Structure 1
Amino acid sequence: MTTVSAVDSDDEEINPVTMLLLDNDDDAQQKNGKKPEVAPTPIQHQNYHLTSIDSTVVIRQLPSQGLSFQLWPAAATFVKLLDSYHASNTDPFSAAITTAKRHPRLRILELGSGTGIVGIAAAAILGADVTVTDLPHVLVNLKFNADANSEVLAPRGGEVHVAPMSWGETEEMEAIGREYDLIIGSDVVYHDHLYEPLLQTLKFLLLDGGGDGGEKVFLMGHLRRWKKESGFFKRAKKHFQVELIHEDGPSSDSRTGVVVYRFAKKDAVFR
């Protein structure tokens, strides 16, 4: 199995076509003390047909409101992998889901949910109890998307709960708790000033107890855009076992494909 060191080189050339314009992100402006500019809000909708349950999830995007209101490339890959999941599959992604199902109903926490497509798809496909989280200003649209797809969730008993979470904030992390079987996220490594808060959150969730003693993992979909992202992975490997468990090939507009990593405590054993 390939380890994360494969993407650690600062010399790797990144295709600028795949780089999101992070300087325009409302999250970045808020972190810098600037109030995001008020602009017209064109609404876009994206349909995802989930073959495994023969249902369609509809997601509302508000691109003018910032990156948290748009669909990111790694989310599409994550949904595709969820849609191809079956308990009998032996690929590493499916195995991670199956191993996490230690209870009749899988409990999932999603970090940096954005539009909510991954968490909603997980609830619908797996019949899971999913808590989707993001910054407070993102939650209205996140809840809108969860409510809009409630009929898709119902047949398999899936549920989606919406909650605020600022990475690294102890009170918010404690309010969310650790009682989850699986932690997920997609395209969450972007602003370098958020690397340490994200790692603090992962340490709280994966290393500090809670759960029923099973090996808890974080599955992270990622499309690399910036050379500086290697710094996040170098820090992460000081605390976690980090393995590459899925890799898409390059697409027509990107020299790199989406990858999925599994984070776990260093002494975790996977069969």
Structure 2
Amino acid sequence: MATPPLDEQDDATDPLKLLFPGDDEEQEADASPLLSTQPQPVAEGHQVDHHFLRSVNSTVAIRQLRSQGLSFQLWPAATTFVSVLDDSAAGPLSATIAAAGDLGRLRILELGSGTGLVGIAAAVALGADVTVTDLPHVLPNLHFNAEANASILAATGGTVRVATLRWGEAEDVELIGNEFDLVLGSDVVYYDYLYDPLLKTLKLLFEGVAEERRRKKMVFVMAHMRRWKKESAFFKKARKIFDVEVVHSDKPCPGQRMGVAVYRFEWRHKGINGSTAN
């Protein structure tokens, strides 16, 4: 089913006034660790969540539009991913981020960004240049959330760019470019008909990197909560071109059989004879 476009009135709304109502003192009071997991309903059909990042003592605010479909909602893997990114100095991704950062200022691409929480949090926590991407109809809310966190991004030195990226479309990858240090994804393995387009996009990104040194350091990091047995097909295909390892896993939430796992995908570099080398 097609997702309806955002209401024109929403596009005209000041993101900061909607997400942080009140004067500056009230906004500072709202930026509290106690609000990190507390949704803030602001208008019919809207919900705002505040996520406190301890590493930079800042709060990211994200608007959800639940009535407009799955791409406008926060999924469990996203909050786990944010926690892992917030612990980048000593957490399970510390070595990966340090290696990528060795090349200079971090440049990050997020696939299937949805509300943009992971990408925006990465820009804030890591002071990185992040490109958040999704299908065209999702971009207005991505722009909204990026603009709503503009002051926090400016304070921490991060930037967020919003762009269209249709999986499997080479022209979209070409327009975005492929000079990234990290590629992120959260709950992107859900529909089985998208497995091949997602893997095609990843291949285009990794094969297109011009510098061998950057190619060797660039990795795909994915947070995922397994829901279907058929998802094993994605990992089977992915292991043909990536070395895959679990770097973090959560305990299952109440009522769930599986917790969120964070995977690190490292590209298998082509040898001289065209074979892959581990």
Structure 2 residue 201 is the aligned partner of structure 1 residue 201: yes
Which amino acid letter does the alignment assign opposite residue 202 of structure 1? L
Partner residue, 2:97: 97
State whether residues 5 and 137 of structure 2, in contact with CA within 8 Å, keep that contact through their aligned partners in structure 1.
Answer: no
Q: Distance in 2 between matches of 1:108 and 1:158?
A: 11
Residues 38, 135 of structure 1: alpha-carbon distance in 2 compared, 3 angstrom cutoff: closer
Alpha-carbon displacement from aligned partner over 1:151-198 (angstroms, at most 9, x marks no partner) = 111122100000000000111111011101110010000011100000
Partner residue, 1:136: 136
Which amino acid letter does the alignment assign opposite residue 256 of structure 2? S
Structure 2 residue 246 is the aligned partner of structure 1 residue 227: no
Deviation of 1:211 after TM superposition, in Å, equals 4.4
State whether residues 110 and 130 of structure 1, in contact with CA within 8 Å, keep that contact through their aligned partners in structure 2.
Answer: yes
Pairwise mapping of residues 241-252 of structure 1 onto structure 2 (< 5 A)?
A: 241-252=243-254
Partner residue, 1:42: 45
Deviation of 1:253 after TM superposition, in Å, equals 2.5
State whether residues 251 and 257 of structure 1, in contact with CA within 8 Å, keep that contact through their aligned partners in structure 2.
Answer: yes
Residues 37, 265 of structure 1: alpha-carbon distance in 2 compared, 3 angstrom cutoff: closer
Partner residue, 2:82: 79
In structure 1, the gaps of 5 or more residues are 1-28
Partner residue, 1:117: 117
* TM-score, reference length from structure 2: 0.79
Q: Distance in 1 between matches of 2:48 and 2:156?
A: 24
Which is worse superposed, 222-231 or 93-102? 93-102
Partner residue, 1:6: none
| Alignment match of 1:260 (pick from 249, 259, 262) | 262
Q: Distance in 2 between matches of 1:197 and 1:59?
A: 28
Q: Distance in 2 between matches of 1:197 and 1:127?
A: 30
The root-mean-square deviation of aligned C-alpha atoms, in Å, is 2.0
Deviation of 1:267 after TM superposition, in Å, equals 4.6
Partner residue, 2:20: none
In structure 2, the gaps of 5 or more residues are 8-42, 271-278
Pairwise mapping of residues 14-25 of structure 1 onto structure 2 (< 5 A)?
A: none
Which amino acid letter does the alignment assign opposite residue 222 of structure 1? H
Alpha-carbon displacement from aligned partner over 1:22-71 (angstroms, at most 9, x marks no partner) = xxxxxxx24xxxx7699996001011011111111110000010000000
Deviation of 1:212 after TM superposition, in Å, equals 5.6
Q: List, as ranges, runs of 4+ consecutive aligned residues in structure 1 with deviation greater than 6 Å.
A: 37-41
| Alignment match of 2:69 (pick from 66, 71, 87) | 66
State whether residues 217 and 264 of structure 1, in contact with CA within 8 Å, keep that contact through their aligned partners in structure 2.
Answer: yes
Alpha-carbon displacement from aligned partner over 1:206-254 (angstroms, at most 9, x marks no partner) = 2343346232100000000111101111111111111111111112121
Structure with more relative contact order (C-alpha pairs < 8 Å, separation 6 or more) = 1
Which amino acid letter does the alignment assign opposite residue 219 of structure 1? V
Partner residue, 2:60: 57
Equivalenced residue count is 233
Q: Distance in 1 between matches of 2:55 and 2:173?
A: 33
SS of equivalent residue, structure 2 residue 52: strand
Which amino acid letter does the alignment assign opposite residue 65 of structure 1? Q
Which amino acid letter does the alignment assign opposite residue 258 of structure 1? V
SS of equivalent residue, structure 1 residue 163: strand
